[in-house]
């Protein structure tokens, strides 16, 4: 296949055929798979970036005021995250993983919705961590969010570890922070083991995460991209759907 099919009525049947004919699928997801659950992405119009520039890790470490701002933002957005439910796209992904068609889902998301939709937790590879809990940057102990929010609301002081007084941060990977080694290694293994790589809802602009689709393609896998807007890899892909994920993938996989 040389010419990618971009949209059109024939795209979903082609997608279904490629999925059915594959030996092993790797799935790669970005913020776009969760917009249908009501969680805004970064780069769409009205996305998180149009409101707030991200706080880089070094600034978070260096300044208590930045940590205060980071926790203010986290509290403001947490209601949206904690009330979000998986959508049809998550359910289709979970079906592919559960049935064994896909080894794992590699995700840039921090919302926990793949696990909530029934994908086994040990087969969700989180490249950018998880925003549903916090971690001490010194002793690595995990902390629940609810008591942190309560203290922060009362005192306005950003949290420190109850064990070692280290700085506490949501368990997500910020810009400037090093990538987690084990998820990166597992994501690479999945990428190299697949013959079909499915990219869902990522602008493919955050590196190194965004390098996996290109690695898969170079390794000989068929590359499929479903994303509302064009991505830098569209021209290299075998099939591109500029459409919403839930209905297209749900129809192709046969999941409501
Ligand atoms: P991004 O915001 O850069 O890109 C999302 C892409 O998805 C956009 O190109 C958009 O056109 C597309 N999209 C949005 N809704 C869609 C839909 N319903 N169907 C098809 N396409 C749709 O996201 P990214 O590439 O994941 O990079 C953003 C970074 O921000 C990630 O690293 C992630 O860690 C973080 N983030 C996570 C969440 C989350 O956990 N839900 C939300 C915002 C940001
Ligand atoms: Zn600690």
- pLDDT (tens, 9 = 90+) of the chain, 256 residues, equals 556 777 777 899 999 999 999 999 999 999 999 999 999 998 776 666 667 889 999 999 999 999 999 999 999 999 999 999 999 999 999 999 999 999 999 999 999 999 999 999 999 999 999 999 999 999 999 999 999 999 999 999 999 999 999 999 999 999 999 999 999 999 999 999 999 999 999 999 999 999 999 999 999 999 999 999 999 999 999 999 999 999 999 999 999 9
Binding pocket residue ranges, ligand 1, CB within 6 Å: 30-32, 34-36, 39, 41-44, 47-48, 108-111, 128, 201-203, 205-206, 226-229, 244-245
Domain limits of the chain? 1-39+86-128+179-256, 48-83+129-172
Alpha-carbon gap, residue 109 to 220, rounded angstroms: 26
Alpha-carbon span 106 to 65, nearest angstrom = 33
CATH number for the region 1-39+86-128+179-256 comes to 3.40.50.1220
Q: What is d(CA 173, CA 41) in angstroms, rounded to the nearest whole number?
A: 16
Angle between helices 245-253 and 11-20 (to 10 degrees): 50
Q: State which of 92, 179, 201 you would mutate to test the pocket of ligand 1, scoring each by most atoms of that ligand within 8 A of its C-beta.
A: 201
Gap from CA of 39 to ligand 1 centroid (Å): 9
Atom 23 in ligand 1: which residue has the minimum CA distance?
A: 31
Query: Domain 48-83+129-172, CATH 3.40.190.10 — does that match?
Result: no
Structure-block tokens of residue 24: 């092993």
Tokens for 43?
Answer: 């780069």
SS3 197: strand
């Amino acid at each position: 296949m040389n010419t990618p099919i971009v949209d059109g009525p024939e795209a979903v049947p082609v997608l279904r055929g490629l999925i059915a004919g594959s030996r092993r699928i790797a799935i790669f997801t970005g913020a776009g798979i969760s917009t249908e659950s009501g969680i805004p992405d970064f780069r769409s119009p009205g996305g998180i970036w149009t409101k707030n520039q991200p706080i880089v890790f070094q600034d978070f470490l260096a300044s208590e005021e930045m940590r205060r701002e980071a926790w203010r933002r986290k509290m403001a957005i947490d209601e949206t995250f904690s009330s979000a439910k998986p959508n049809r796209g998550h359910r289709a992904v979970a079906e592919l993983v559960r049935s064994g068609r896909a080894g794992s889902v590699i995700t840039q998301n921090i919302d926990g919705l793949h696990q909530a939709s029934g994908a086994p937790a040990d087969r969700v590879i989180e490249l950018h961590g998880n925003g549903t809990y916090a971690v001490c940057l010194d002793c690595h102990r995990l902390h629940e969010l609810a008591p942190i929010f309560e203290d922060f609301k009362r005192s306005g002081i950003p949290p420190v570890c109850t064990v070692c007084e280290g700085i506490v941060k949501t368990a997500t990977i910020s810009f400037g922070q090093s990538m987690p080694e084990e998820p990166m290694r597992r994501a690479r293994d999945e990428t190299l083991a697949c013959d079909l790589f499915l990219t869902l809802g990522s602008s493919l602009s955050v590196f190194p995460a965004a390098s996996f689709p290109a690695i898969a393609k170079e390794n000989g896998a068929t590359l499929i991209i479903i994303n509302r807007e064009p991505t830098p890899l569209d021209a290299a892909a075998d099939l591109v759907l500029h459409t919403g994920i839930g209905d297209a993938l749900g129809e192709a996989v046969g999941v409501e």
